[in-house]
Structure 1
Amino acid sequence: MRAAVFDRFGPPEVLHVVHVPDPRPGPGEVRVRVLAAGVQPFDVAVRAGEMPWAKIQFPQTLGQEYAGLIDAVGEGVDDFVPGDPVLGSTMLNGAAELLCVAAENVVRKPAALDFPTAAALVAASQTASGSLLELGVGEGDVLLMHAAAGSVGTVATQLARRAGATVIGTASLRNHDRLRRQGAIPVTYGQDLIQDVRDLGLQPTAALDAAGGEAIAQSVELGIPLDRIGTIVDDKAAADHGTRVVRAGRDPKRLAAVIDLAARGEVVIPVQPFPLDEIVEAHRTVESRHSDGKVVLLIAS
């Protein structure tokens, strides 16, 4: 099979596509023929050597989220058969034509949802839904969503609105129309953010930071209770200000719930696709933080 690997830490150019042996599913596992694989900032950080705790064995594959078709099943697997469309989380092996994962973590893909969109939603759905749950965002809240145009922010905005919250979303000006379509009130990030939020006449009651930088400090200055300010990207700022780091773990049930909403058109996410052979450009795009949607690799079958 073909897989994208890197043999040393470094810039996107260390990535290349090679042929490697096909994996075989063990007991309780399924093998998936991957049709689409998401690219996360986590992948970029691992490739750059910024995640020293990650268990790397060169040549190392990347990829944490996938969508595809069951290709084979291991011993003891009765819930899936070859040909079933599925999606889910994995660890450092998604950017490949085949991968093996525990059957208990696999989510069925609804027919109404295409494979690239399914892959795009895997991590964002679990992080967004879990973070909102930890912060207790619900009816009557005013959520300040930092980086609302990113994949997590996109899903969190829509889920918060469904829960009855008002959402103020930070983004660059070019993304404001998209935020409005998602149901958010857009404001531009930067030094004027605090005043821009105050000018809305709405007092934020919770904040979710997917941006880093000044987001936590700005949330604190806006008077949001410290225990309702959470970040998924800036542990240091959370420690400095006494706010929360939200580590919403992987949960197939939470993922399936958001996927069902997406299949009904009630949660949407823009996708920016790249062929597997263009993984270098895909990583450059994620690093730029100016993609036109969730970056997804298209894996030829």
Structure 2
Amino acid sequence: MKAVAIGTYGDPEGLTLVDLPTPSPPEGEILIAVEAVGVAGMDAQIRSGALADYGFEEGFVPGSEVAGTVTAVGKGRDDSWIGRRVWAFTGLGGGYVEQACVPLEQVVPLPPELSPVESVTIGSSGSVAHFALVHAHLARGEAVLIRGAAGSIGVMAVQLATREGASAVAVTTSSTERGDRLRQLGATHVLDRSGAGRADAPAGYDVIFDVVAGDELPVFLDRLNPRGRMVTVGAVGGQPPVDFGRVLMAQFQRSTSFATFSAASVGAADLQAVRRDQFAAVARGELTAVVHEVLPLDQAVLAHQKMDAGEVFGRIVLAP
């Protein structure tokens, strides 16, 4: 089967199309004929070599979520799964393939109205956004700022914060066009990347949902209301300054807080339950899966070039 592996770390051109043996599902797993692969920011970080210290080696196949049709089951699994359309979490890698073996515990059946492309657009990003907002203790009537809202996680956070009854959903983004699209998804105020740009925007926020991190993270900590909470779910802008905690200590009497969130801290059953609910919500038209573009698997280099250039709104999907 065809797969995309990291030939050399660094630029997108280091991704290469390779031939791998078609897998056979071991005990407890199923085999999926992949129709859609979600391209995530984590894939780009792994490809760049930024996470090389975590054991990723050249030859690694990226991709954490796939969708398609079950074609075989391993020993101990019900044959009735064969022929069913499913979404699956493949872990931190292994998804840029034509055929994927996945433990059944990481699989969610798809509603008839939901396409494989839509499912990999929200499968992981939607659950991250949901549990990060839970981690932030978002309550109805609170003001939220979503930093880095144009990516797949930010797009979902805008929609979920709106559904939760936030009094304001401010977003940072890089262009007027993106701001208009985010307004259509529920944003009430559009700011530039520095958090400026609207005189009528809230002066402070009860929750800041951050996908960016980077050097400017301390600036956003200063925009928390008393007892405000900032939760960082990614670091697409790089690591924050090592002394960013000084900002929190300087406003000690305002009881602000900072936290990180990773879906790895949530049990598989809880993640799958949220994914099932969100898939059903998209099928009913209550949530929107924002697909930037669908590209063939052999154009993974182009997909990563677009991500690195900051061109993507929502999620790029690869179609084997």
What is the TM-score when the length of structure 1 is the normalising length?
Answer: 0.91
Shift in Å at residue 247 of structure 1? 1.6
2:265 paired with 1:244: no
Aligned-CA RMSD value: 2.1
Give matches, 1:224-239, under 5 Å. 224-225=225-226, 228-234=229-235, 236-237=240-241
Residues 70, 80 of structure 1: 8 Å contact kept: no
In the aligned structure 2, how far is the partner of 1:218 from the partner of 1:153? Answer: 19
2:188 aligns with 185
1:40 aligns with 40
In the aligned structure 2, how far is the partner of 1:69 from the partner of 1:238? Answer: 46
Alignment-mate amino acid for residue 135 of structure 1: A
1:31 aligns with 31
Residues 179, 186 of structure 1: 8 Å contact kept: no
Mean Cα displacement is larger for which, 135-144 or 250-259? 250-259
Q: Deviations over 1:193-235 (max 9, x none)?
A: 24x4563246421100012335532322223357610111246
In the aligned structure 1, how far is the partner of 2:193 from the partner of 2:126? Answer: 27
Unpaired runs of at least 5, structure 2: 249-257
Residues 191, 198 of structure 2: 8 Å contact kept: no
- Summarize the Cα distance change of 1:125–1:50 in structure 2 as closer, same or farther, 3 Å threshold: same
Shift in Å at residue 127 of structure 1? 1.0
Residues 33, 98 of structure 2: 8 Å contact kept: yes
Residues 143, 202 of structure 2: 8 Å contact kept: no
Give matches, 1:97-176, under 5 Å. 97-165=98-166, 166-172=168-174, 173-176=176-179
Structure 2 residue matching 1:236: 3-state secondary structure: coil
Work out the number of aligned pairs and report it.
297
Alignment-mate amino acid for residue 294 of structure 2: P
Shift in Å at residue 159 of structure 1? 0.9
In the aligned structure 1, how far is the partner of 2:37 from the partner of 2:135? Answer: 27
2:260 paired with 1:259: no
In the aligned structure 1, how far is the partner of 2:119 from the partner of 2:296? Answer: 16
Determine which of 286, 289, 293 is the counterpart of 2:310: 289
- Summarize the Cα distance change of 1:34–1:72 in structure 2 as closer, same or farther, 3 Å threshold: same
In the aligned structure 1, how far is the partner of 2:218 from the partner of 2:56? Answer: 34
2:96 aligns with 95
1:217 aligns with 218
2:201 aligns with 200
- Summarize the Cα distance change of 1:61–1:170 in structure 2 as closer, same or farther, 3 Å threshold: same
In the aligned structure 2, how far is the partner of 1:238 from the partner of 1:132? Answer: 25
Unpaired runs of at least 5, structure 1: none
In the aligned structure 1, how far is the partner of 2:218 from the partner of 2:134? Answer: 22
Alignment-mate amino acid for residue 169 of structure 1: V
Alignment-mate amino acid for residue 282 of structure 1: A
- Summarize the Cα distance change of 1:79–1:59 in structure 2 as closer, same or farther, 3 Å threshold: same
Mean Cα displacement is larger for which, 80-89 or 48-57? 48-57
Alignment-mate amino acid for residue 68 of structure 1: G
**After TM superposition, what 4+ stretches of structure 1 lie above 4 angstroms from structure 2?**
none
In the aligned structure 1, how far is the partner of 2:226 from the partner of 2:78? Answer: 48
Structure 2 residue matching 1:213: 3-state secondary structure: coil
In the aligned structure 2, how far is the partner of 1:212 from the partner of 1:159? Answer: 21
Mean Cα displacement is larger for which, 65-74 or 208-217? 208-217
What is the TM-score when the length of structure 2 is the normalising length?
Answer: 0.86
Residues 41, 287 of structure 1: 8 Å contact kept: no
In the aligned structure 1, how far is the partner of 2:187 from the partner of 2:120? Answer: 24
2:280 paired with 1:280: no
Structure 2 residue matching 1:63: 3-state secondary structure: coil
In the aligned structure 2, how far is the partner of 1:80 from the partner of 1:89? Answer: 20
Q: Deviations over 1:247-288 (max 9, x none)?
A: 233621222221111111111132111111111100111111
Residues 173, 193 of structure 2: 8 Å contact kept: no
